[in-house]
Structure 1
């Protein structure tokens, strides 16, 4: 199925690539990418000769019915690995364990250090728990990856993609053997993650934001809610004002009628 999906994507969208020679022909490696679109997990494997395993929500594999079975078959076919994300900490540990297993098999493991899609096309602070821990636990090299214009192919909330040519840049491998055995040191995890994010920023040309994308999404949601509440309050105030004007007009009309009565 990877051949079918990858071939179709390449034929339809003709993604351009740089740095494919940096991907090892064999052996484990981590592909750490920025995250602009749902389609990132399909475009990156499509341009590689080797299988890349990404983490996906378990719901994609457990939805009942014909549609659910077809969705599960599709995600399995393109190398997605189900992880139960119902509990934040448990989900993180499950993802790390799965990533280590993939790399120990000598395969490629793909992940998004930002933890979620960028809400506005900028590059956000990487979360240190997954990427750095997997890299230090396995000793696998980390390849920074920049997905370019994939958010234009499939903007958030859009089902039908646009035929826009995206790009993929893959940087030179980074190795962190100097931190071996320090995968539980939070300062080391932060340093490793920041180094990878800096390389992604150079490859993508994105503006960097020193906060988590999840925090920005919450902030944007709160701002949108506040604006909606303010708009609702303004409309209610306008209605009340209109009612008061109507009442005043009726009072003036009644007073005028009394003055005109003989």
Structure 2
């Protein structure tokens, strides 16, 4: 019910107000399981990507999105429920990771589409960061499902990190690549070297589709570096004041 309402109401509204474009929709299989692996530039990715796909895509979402208060919180919760997002408590990082992988495998076993952001978090500056070993690779190798690389385009300009109100003059896009077949590694989901190789191949395809600059560190580390630089700049400025 929620999903049908989202496709009938939210998707048309996004198309009217933002005129998003999509390339490569033919790469999404009409039926059968697949893993959608996307870059992550903005909170709005979680709206545009599932809303514009022809098939339902199940993503893992942090549990806070389902427990918000006020009008915004309730609307956000309703949307995520509507598109079939699965809440995961991130307070225990390792446990959350295992829960996400188990949920992804179950979605694939049902013959559905499972979406994942290999970077693990939003990019702090529009660059593409190192994919985390685990999620996309482990699910692909455990199930044999193809991985479809996806690039979100200009969503960080539409809604920069920390900004609530979107910039209506920006037209975002979605570029979908050809499916990647990793069946040659089936059953090797516990080999970290294979997992890294598969993850890097997926990230390379996302980089090629998005045109982003690639940085070979994790996005979480980049966020810490940016925050530390801001903190030092602030302290330096305070010290220079008379």
TM range (shorter): over 0.9
Task: Name the counterpart of 1:177.
Answer: 183
How far the C-alpha of 1:16 sits from its partner, in A, is 1.1
Which stretch of the first structure deviates more once superposed, 54-63 or 190-199? Answer: 54-63
TM-score, normalised with respect to structure 1: 0.86
* Structure 1 residue 217 corresponds to structure 2 residue 205: no
Correspondence list, 1:2-17, <5 A: 2-3=6-7, 4-17=9-22
Task: Name the counterpart of 2:144.
Answer: 139
Task: Name the counterpart of 1:199.
Answer: 205
CA distance in 2, matches of 1:36, 1:166: 11
**Which structure is larger by alpha-carbon Rg, 1 or 2?**
1
Correspondence list, 1:212-251, <5 A: 212-235=218-241, 238=242
- How many equivalent pairs are there? 236
Correspondence list, 1:28-177, <5 A: 28-63=33-68, 68-163=73-168, 164-177=170-183
Instruction: Render the CA deviation track for 1:11-34: whole Å, top value 9, x for unaligned.
Output: 211111111000000111111001
Q: CA RMSD in A?
A: 1.4
Q: Contact 2:40 / 2:123 at 8 angstroms: preserved in 1? A: yes
Displaced runs of 4+ in structure 1, greater than 3 A?
63-71
CA distance in 1, matches of 2:188, 2:60: 24
TM-score, normalised with respect to structure 2: 0.93
How far the C-alpha of 1:56 sits from its partner, in A, is 0.8
Task: Name the counterpart of 2:23.
Answer: 18
Unaligned runs of 5+ in 1: 239-262
Q: Contact 1:6 / 1:45 at 8 angstroms: preserved in 2? A: no
- Cα distance, 1:214–1:93 mapped onto 2, change above 3 Å: same
Instruction: Render the CA deviation track for 1:69-90: whole Å, top value 9, x for unaligned.
Output: 4432221012221001001101
Instruction: Render the CA deviation track for 1:90-136: whole Å, top value 9, x for unaligned.
Output: 11111111111111111111111111111111111111111101111
